[in-house]
């Protein structure tokens, strides 16, 4: 029955101008390095990921929709480029656009995790040993990034080799002053590197 255990991701999808900007850097990294991790993922900010049985999908969608009904649109603030050096999940340098973590955004994450985590079948599979707040979150939610240690971001890609030149090129430039609001939440089914959109709720 293991094949029925898959991941569900709660994402924020930024506006088209941010998607285009992010996608342009993804393309540069994909051209510089073959099979660059995250390079072909849809442009998004991950809020929560849950590993659950496919048979529970409709219930998860319903609970997600119900939870989102209590949310309102909120401003988000881009704080600049960030590089996760020697990313434990990829063994590369992961380039991201950082989003400021506010109390309001953290509260939304906590509510979404509380709504969806009860459906989890087991913890999200990770190739690393976690410590501290990451382990506490992993044990409680099955996902290591719930709480004040969460670093909200929009991923570009993770460079292991020649794409590191693109990372250096990006961080030397200033990100445009995008006006950004958390005005939607989306639920995706994740199988390997394939992301299937299930539902988007406008806030």
Q: What's the pLDDT tens digit per position in 107-154?
A: 999 999 999 999 999 888 887 889 999 999 999 999 999 999 999 999
Percent of the chain with pLDDT over 90: 89
- Confidence at residue 3, expressed as pLDDT on a 0 to 100 scale: 61
**CA of 92: how far to CAs of 32, 49, 104, 106, 113, in Å?**
14, 22, 31, 27, 28
The predicted model gives 167-190 an average pLDDT of 97
**Sequence-ordered strand ranges (E) for the chain:** 5-12, 45-53, 74-76, 78-84, 93-99, 120-122, 153-159, 180-182, 184-191, 194-202
Residues written for the chain: 203
d(CA 8, CA 190): 6
CATH classification at residue 125:
3.90.1140.10
Q: What is the pTM of this model?
A: 0.95
For residue 115, the enclosing domain spans: 2-202
**CA of 80: how far to CAs of 62, 112, 154, in Å?**
35, 26, 11
Q: How many domains does the chain have?
A: 1
The structure tokens 């004040």 sit at 148
d(CA 20, CA 172): 19
């Amino acid at each position: 029955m293991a094949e029925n255990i898959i991941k569900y991701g709660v994402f924020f999808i930024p506006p088209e101008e941010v998607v285009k900007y992010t996608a342009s850097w993804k393309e540069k990294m994909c051209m510089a390095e073959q099979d660059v991790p995250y390079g072909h993922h849809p442009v998004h900010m991950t809020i929560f990921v849950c590993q659950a049985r496919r048979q529970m999908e409709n219930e998860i969608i319903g609970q997600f929709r119900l939870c989102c009904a209590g949310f309102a649109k909120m401003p988000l603030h881009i704080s600049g480029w960030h590089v996760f050096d020697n990313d434990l999940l990829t063994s590369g340098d992961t380039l991201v656009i950082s989003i400021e973590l506010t109390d309001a955004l953290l509260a939304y994450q906590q509510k979404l995790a509380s709504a969806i985590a009860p459906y989890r079948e087991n913890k999200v599979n990770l190739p690393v040993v976690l410590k501290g707040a990451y382990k506490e979150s992993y044990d409680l939610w099955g996902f290591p990034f719930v709480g004040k240690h969460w670093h909200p971001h929009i991923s570009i890609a993770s460079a292991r080799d020649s794409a590191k030149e693109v990372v250096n090129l990006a961080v030397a430039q200033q990100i445009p002053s995008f006006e950004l609001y958390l005005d939607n939440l989306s639920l995706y089914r994740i199988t390997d590197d394939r992301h299937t959109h299930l539902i988007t709720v406008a806030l």
